[in-house]
Amino acid sequence: MRNKRTITFKEDLCDLCGLCFHMCPVLELPLDESKAEIQRLIKGLESKYVLSKCNTCLSCNLYCPQNAKPYQLILERWNDIYKKRGAPPLYYFVCPTENGNIWQLLNLFLSNQERRWIYKWMYYTPKSEDTLFLIGSYTHLLPFIIGGSRLLEYFKPIDRIDQWEGGAYLYQGGYLDVVQRIAERTKLDFDEWGSQNVVVSLDALHYLFNDVHPKEMGVKHDQNFINFHQWLLDNINSGEIHLPNKLELTVTVHDNCYSKANGNVYWENPRRILEKCGCSILEMKHIKQDALCCGFGAGASWVKNISLPFDMISEGVKKFKEAEETGAMALVSYCSGCLYLMWATKELIKSKVDLFHIVEIVRMAMGEKLNYPKDHIKRAWDIIAIITYSLLLSTFKKNFYIKHLSYDESLSTYQPRKHPILKIIRYLFNLKLIRIVYSKLFQMIMPFMKSR
């Protein structure tokens, strides 16, 4: 029997004060408009702003003085819309169970070393005595961030793409009924593995497994989920992880949307880790509870399929502008989901600020060598090629509903077909002149193509 979903927006607590969307760093609605909008959402009437402009950043939950959880109300309304119109065709590319998904297409461009790492992570069968490390679908796109590091020697790394990051990115888009099925499916995996301690690479996973699955999806896990940043900080503090190579780097920190789910702990641990690595922090205008999204969240409130990448990148541009204004040498993300899109944005707008994952900073402080920025630049253009190709293909497809949660091992949606057009696009991006022209063109058409 299917577990029952719980709606966590507290209508009885909401006094219609309107502060949620008035303080929202994206919408900044006048108070009267905001009051009217929350009433429309509660009644299920047509939304004027939120459902077509929200970046799914979670901040409104923190602004609500009544703890009514307006963010969860937004997700419920998107779930209602999904039931009526389905997902946009471009979303095939983030569905690991569909042909043409990003993980499948990226196989065409992975290095042999990356393939070896990923193969090991994907096909390891966990044992009950293992401490597992969930690599996650997005770190899978950037395996060089952690592949080959001594940090992995503490765990058994596992990479199951069709765990869909516990449903994290679908949850942010309001695909709540699908997330519930993912929660049930993920529980089957965990129980079969029998491992008690599971270290998770993303705040999103930590929050999903500890809060969303049990409290909203009716799926309780029996495992002990350990946040990787907490694990890192504890092991740096205990001296288990040595950081002999102090970096003299000024950095600014990107707080991901899910970091707001657990406030101070998720925000402060990465900052303490960076300081231990010898970094000094210059903060951006919008941080922590007010942090702007990397851009990915702009896809949640999609209006037109064709506008999706332009909406996402144009939101990411704001982040780079704020990062550059701090004067910091580098922008650091502690979420790999944000990082892959931010690198694509960085290449498209040619931002001069360096961009690292926090694990890369720790590895450099440990004295490990990175192939920075070459690996990132190559991967950014792999991803830009895949998004360009997926957008072209999606113009011939219709909206769809997510049916399959596991990939079919025989017809696998993980093994790519030949995709000659994608290969040509990627080949062209090897030419510097083409990259420059493409970036300029993208910047020129972005204001006309975005939907907001």
Q: Which residues bind ligand SF4 (CB under 6 A)?
A: 14-21, 24, 26-27, 38, 50, 54-60, 63-64, 66, 68, 70-71
- CA-to-CA distance for 295 and 180, rounded, in angstroms? 25
Nearest approach, Cβ of residue 146 and ligand SF4 (Å): 29
What the block records as the tokens of 320 is 């780079």
Nearer to ligand SF4, 322 or 360 (CB): 322
Nearer to ligand SF4, 61 or 388 (CB): 61
Nearer to ligand SF4, 54 or 313 (CB): 54
Nearer to ligand SF4, 104 or 172 (CB): 172
- Length of the chain as a residue count: 452
Nearest approach, Cβ of residue 378 and ligand SF4 (Å): 32
Nearest approach, Cβ of residue 310 and ligand SF4 (Å): 18
Nearer to ligand SF4, 18 or 89 (CB): 18
Which contiguous run of DSSP H or E holds residue 126?
A: none
Residue written as tokens 């129980």?
191
Nearest approach, Cβ of residue 260 and ligand SF4 (Å): 9
> DSSP secondary-structure letter at 409?
S
Nearest approach, Cβ of residue 235 and ligand SF4 (Å): 33
Nearer to ligand SF4, 43 or 352 (CB): 43
Contact 356, 332 (CB under 8 A): yes
Nearer to ligand SF4, 76 or 354 (CB): 76
Rounded alpha-carbon distances, angstroms, from residue 120 to 105, 177, 227, 390, 397: 19, 32, 22, 28, 35
Sequence-separated contacts (24+) of 425-430 with Cβ below 8 Å: 425/385, 425/388, 425/389, 426/108, 426/109, 426/381, 426/382, 426/385, 429/381, 429/384, 429/385, 430/381
Q: Is 43 exposed, middle or buried (0-12, 13-18, 19+ CB in 10 A)?
A: exposed
Nearest approach, Cβ of residue 283 and ligand SF4 (Å): 19
What the block records as the tokens of 234 is 């504890």
Strands (DSSP E) contained in 64-168 are: 131-134, 156-158
Nearest approach, Cβ of residue 284 and ligand SF4 (Å): 16
Nearest approach, Cβ of residue 10 and ligand SF4 (Å): 8
Nearest approach, Cβ of residue 21 and ligand SF4 (Å): 6
Residues sharing a CB contact under 8 Å with residue 236, sequence separation 6 or more, in sequence order:
243, 273, 276, 362
Nearer to ligand SF4, 70 or 337 (CB): 70
Helix axes 31-43, 70-85, angle to 10 degrees: 50
- CA-to-CA distance for 397 and 155, rounded, in angstroms? 42
Nearer to ligand SF4, 143 or 337 (CB): 337
- CA-to-CA distance for 281 and 66, rounded, in angstroms? 33
Nearest approach, Cβ of residue 29 and ligand SF4 (Å): 9
- In this structure, how many other beta carbons lie within 10 angstroms of the beta carbon of residue 154? 14
Nearer to ligand SF4, 66 or 149 (CB): 66
Q: Which of 74, 69, 93 is nearest to 26 (CA)?
A: 74
